[in-house]
Amino acid sequence: MSEKFQAEMKELDEKFAAIPENLKKRYDKHRLIRCSSMVFLAFLFGIASVVSRLISYVDIQMPEPLLFCVAVVLSICLTAFCLKCYKTKKYSSFFIKNQDVSLTIFTFENTASLVLVLFPTLLFLSSAMGGSRDELSGAGTLYGVFIAPICILVFLLCYFFNRGTYIPKDDKFC
């Protein structure tokens, strides 16, 4: 390692040690929400696409709400398993330099990711409960054309600022 890199890491270690514990815990909670929502969404889409293809090939008659619930439960289990396997804590350099702004950006990012996860789920549940087709179609169009692209853009911009690149000195050999 070069001397410049070692000096930068030493400086980051010193700044990180000066950050209050409550801010580190808030950052960890935001990271957990980010990771769990995105992993859950990936598993849900993957499982739903595999199950829909399998059902069309095998020609099984099952109610959609039941399939959706099975996909959600399986996605939750797989997400919990993945989160238990990945224990290395990474902090963004931006968080170390400016904790308050970093946590504010994380709040926007997590709000966008939760909207991406919850809105389609609520649409599906309302359709399963017999919601009006016209209202659901309008809400789905609103989500697909406006809400989802805006949330994805917000998530990506916020993720860019809060990428985890710094591993604390205590966690480097976990």
What's the CA gap between 47 and 74, in Å, rounded? 8
pLDDT for res 103: 92
- Write down the pLDDT at residue 173: 41
Please tell me the distance from the alpha carbon of residue 89 to that of residue 85, in angstroms, as a whole number: 12
Is 174 within 8 Å of 87 (Cβ atoms)? yes
- pLDDT tens digits, 45-72: 888 788 878 877 887 777 777 777 788 8
Copy the structure tokens of residue 20.
């209050």
Say which residue the tokens 């939750």 belong to: 76
Per-residue pLDDT tens over the stretch 93-114: 888 888 999 999 999 999 998 8
Task: Kindly give, in sequence order, each residue whose CB lies less than 8 Å from that of residue 148, ignoring residues fewer than 6 positions away.
Answer: 116, 119
Q: Are 58 and 135 in contact (CB under 8 A)?
A: no
What CA–CA distance (Å, rounded) separates 43 from 76? 8
CB count within 10 Å of CB 9 equals 15
- The residue ranges of every structural domain in the chain are 21-171
Taking only the tens place, the pLDDT of each residue in 119-140 is 877 777 777 677 677 777 787 7
Judge whether residue 171 has pLDDT over 60. no
Cβ atoms of 158 and 105 within 8 Å: the answer is: yes
Q: What DSSP element (H or E) covers 120?
A: helix 99-128
pLDDT tens, residue by residue, 8-49: 888 888 888 888 999 999 998 888 888 888 888 888 888 878
For residue 51, the surrounding DSSP H or E stretch is: helix 21-58
78: pLDDT strictly greater than 70: yes
